[in-house]
Structure formats: structure tokens, C-alpha cells
Amino acid sequence: ALMITDDCINCDVCEPECPNDAIFMGPEIYVIDPNKCTECVGHYNEPQCKQVCPVNCIPFNPEWKESKAELQAKYERLQEEA
């Protein structure tokens, strides 16, 4: 999963780009729900939020390292829940 750092300027551009609705406004800045972020696996070749962020504050979350297979499985689980 990816994460948003406190460099976030709340510009709102990433939130609508997420195919998994994983991005939401937290108490102060935007937040990514790691249970919903597939790093865009299943939808796109590149993480869409990371591409559009103007201040480059969406790195990989070191607490949530996942393999491509794990991300694909998460994508499939989210599809079933949808």
C-alpha cells in the first residue's frame, strides 16, 4: 500500500483518481486506507495518486509491503465486496 505524508497540502486531486476509494480526508490531511490500496494493481500499471500529487508526498508505506500476488488478491477481494 501507499501512504500520504504530512507534506500533503490537501489539494484534493488524488482522491477522485483512486479506483478503490482508498483515499479519504483525515483529521488534518488526506489518508490512504491500506486495506483498500492495491497500489492500483488490477486497474492501472502505475499508482494513480502518486502520478497526480503535485508535492510528491505519496510514497510506499514501509509498514505495508506487499507482493504483486498479494495486491492482486486484495484487488479480487475488493471486487467481490463491491
The grid cell for 9 is 497540502
Is 78 a residue that touches ligand SF4 (CB under 6 A)?
Answer: no
Q: How far apart are CA 72 and CA 53, in angstroms?
A: 24
**Going residue by residue from 11 to 40, which x/- string records binding to ligand SF4, judged by CB under 6 A?**
xxxx--xx-x-xx------x-x----xxxx
Taken as a whole, the chain contains a residue count of: 82
Residues 6+ away with beta carbon under 8 Å from 22: 1, 32, 33, 34, 36, 37
Least separation in angstroms between residue 27's CB and ligand SF4 is: 14
Residues at the contact surface with ligand SF4, assessed by CB under 6 A? 2, 4, 8-14, 17-18, 20, 22-23, 30, 32, 37-40, 47-49, 52-53, 55, 57-58
